[in-house]
Chains A and B, each alone.
Chain A
Amino acid sequence: MSSKAQRQPAAVTFLVVLVLAVWMILAAFPFLWTLWGSFKVEGDFFSKANWANALTGKLTIVETGGVFTGDGYYGAWIQEEFWRAALNSTIVCFFVVTISLTLGTLGGYALARSTYRYAFWFLLAALIFRAMPPITLVSGYLPVFFQWNLWGHTATTIIVLVAINQPFTLWMLHSFFKNIPAELDESAMVDGCTRFQAFRNVIIPVMWPGVITTGLFSFLLAYNDFAVTTMLLSKENQTMIPKVASFLGTTQTKGNVMFAVSSVVSVTAPLFLMVLFFQRQIVGGLTAGAVKG
């Protein structure tokens, strides 16, 4: 829009192109490099002789006969049972997102419609809770969970992640509901609906854009979490991120660091697809909080 009004001098154009080119390399290159390297053997990905070996795959050809090898993926997914972690991650993410959104829509709606002072205090408390580093909370959970035998179960972790998720979900949905005109549900109540009926029949049909955006961020929080999942899950219930971390401890010595590399690529792939398909919603969600204050 500004390009029409003013022609850019060559120097400015050059500067813009330079900044964008450098940033694109910084942002995208590490991912491409790791994706490419995950199909090589360790001797190429960490090449003592020449880093260009990672591109040409010199040792990969010697060791496996092809330019690309799926050994890292086979080792991680089958041998080290990464599929189990992937399954656990799916379960945890699914339940965290559904429960977070159910609780969050109810709470966020009420907070958006209440005009009393305590609604403000509630939101402020949520903001303070949002600032707590999750690991400090974990040190509060452990003794209690040990004593009541709650430690290690997937269900416990799901509930904990839902709770840690709540402050953010509430803030976000609260600002989305604020944008839905209050006249909509008030007129339904004038017609004889109760508050809950108005919510169910009038608000739920129009709330999906906001809920989808919030759900994406709930998903990210559950999927990316390391502090809670590594501390609260037993070995067989482990999700993908602690599993990747455990590869670092055990496999680096065995010389199977490629298991970690391939599992890192496997963890990244779903996030990549998510950004690809939901870019508009993510950008909208990130800015919603800022623009509305």
Chain B
Amino acid sequence: MKHKPFFWFVLPSALAMLCFIFFPIISVVVQSVHVAHEQVIKVVETCDLFGCKESTTVDQDATDALRAERPLGQFAGLTTYADINHLAIDEVGDNWRQSNSWREFGSQMLNLPFYKAIGFTLTFTFIVTPLVIVFGFIIAVAVNAAVQKIRGPLIFFSLLPMMITPLVGALILFWMVDARGIIGATLQYLAGDPDLSVKASTPLTWIMLMVYGVWHSAPFAFIVYYAGLQSVNQDTLEAARVDGANRWLQIRHVIIPHLLPLTTFIALMQLMDNFRVFEPIVSFSAEAHATSLSWAIYNDLGGETRQLSSAAATSVLTIIGVAILLSPVLVRTWREFDRK
């Protein structure tokens, strides 16, 4: 395709992405190095019978004028990044000097909002992703072994947890896990503890969020693997069988190597999606026990006072995280393209 028609064909979608994805990223970076203006203080002298007094008040007009004139706020450099809600450099230093063991250091770090969020986000990402791959594979193999006739309904029900809105899917699970819901009541019965509450315990909340994550994403891995299984070379499988490979060896040496390229694809998509974990935390109202980077931004933006600079700084740190996560894939794609 020639340059000129190409340009006109991609222009609308390029403009959309430029204006609403690329510029916002720049805007976030700029915002994160600014903070809101301080209020303008003026000194007023009031005189009465007993003499004159000086008092300070907020000059509302001047403050508004300043804010209107320079809406970005004042330049603050990297101070927002260093404050207690983000990288908390001073506090981390104090912790490091004062704590006696790694354990103590770790638990102190999890009290800082940013480290609490990133701790959960990374744990979630790196526990849920492998589990999704394993469970998706098991389900795919099982469905593939089922009779042709029931595969349609099996796939239909398998798709549901993935297609459901994350917020809504998490809510459905949350209501069942409630102490008065069916799963919550069963857990209490099994544990023999009538006061057991998943919501009140940090480890149980983390586990519940991850169970939700696997439930929600396993169908994706399943579908991709299932499609891959349809294209396994039957001759190779037959040959393995003739050579005396049992079921497990067939899976181990024929099917898994065949599905390996699909695994990188699933892992990539899952890493990207799990890193942005957000809705389940809102649904489970789990913020007391678990927060994520996306939730931290949401929390800054919502509410009465919109803390735009703080949200922007967390956003930039999140984008850096995404970039680190994505870099192996990008490097690989680049090399492959260069070879072609």
Closest chain-A Cβ to B304's Cβ sits at a distance in Å of 14
Within B269-302, which residues are at the interface with A (CB < 8 Å)?
272, 275-276, 278-279, 282-283, 285, 293-294, 297-298, 300-302
Query: Taking the complex as formed, is A12 at the interface, i.e. its CB lies under 8 A from any CB of chain B?
Result: yes
Name the interface size band of chain A: 35 or more
- Check if B28 sits within 8 Å of A136, measured CB to CB: yes
Q: Which residues of B sit under 8 angstroms from A46, Cβ to Cβ?
A: 175, 178, 180-181
- Check if A48 sits within 8 Å of B180, measured CB to CB: yes
Query: Taking the complex as formed, is A54 at the interface, i.e. its CB lies under 8 A from any CB of chain B?
Result: yes
Q: Give A124 to B178 CA distance when docked, in angstroms.
A: 44
Top 9 A-B pairs, shortest CB-CB distance: A140-B24, A163-B20, A110-B9, A133-B276, A287-B227, A107-B13, A136-B315, A46-B180, A195-B5
Interface residues of B (CB under 8 A from A): 1-3, 5-6, 9-10, 12-14, 16-17, 19-28, 31, 71-72, 138-139, 142-147, 152, 154-161, 163-168, 171-173, 175-176, 178, 180-182, 185-186, 215, 219-220, 223-224, 227-228, 231, 234, 237-238, 241, 247, 261-262, 265-266, 272, 275-276, 278-279, 282-283, 285, 293-294, 297-298, 300-302, 306, 308, 311-312, 314-315, 318-319, 322-323, 325-326, 330, 333-334, 337
- Check if A142 sits within 8 Å of B294, measured CB to CB: no
Residue of B nearest to A104 (CB): B13
Residue of A nearest to B185 (CB): A51
Q: Which residues of B sit under 8 angstroms from A26, Cβ to Cβ?
A: 161, 215
Total number of residue pairs linking A and B with CB closer than 8 Å: 289
- Given A140, A223, A279, which contacts B159 in the complex, CB threshold below 8 Å? A279
Q: Which residues of A sit under 8 angstroms from B247, Cβ to Cβ?
A: 12
Stretch binding the partner chain, chosen from A58-66, A78-86, A265-273: A265-273
Query: Taking the complex as formed, is A87 at the interface, i.e. its CB lies under 8 A from any CB of chain B?
Result: no
Residue of A nearest to B241 (CB): A6
Q: Which residues of A sit under 8 angstroms from B223, Cβ to Cβ?
A: 283, 286-287
Closest chain-B Cβ to A75's Cβ sits at a distance in Å of 17
Q: Give A124 to B157 CA distance when docked, in angstroms.
A: 34
A136-B318, A195-B1 known; A275+B17 contact, CB < 8 A: no
- Given B6, B272, B275, which contacts A119 in the complex, CB threshold below 8 Å? B6
Q: Which residues of B sit under 8 angstroms from A107, Cβ to Cβ?
A: 9-10, 12-14
Most chain A CB within 10 A, of B28, B175, B275, B319, is at B175
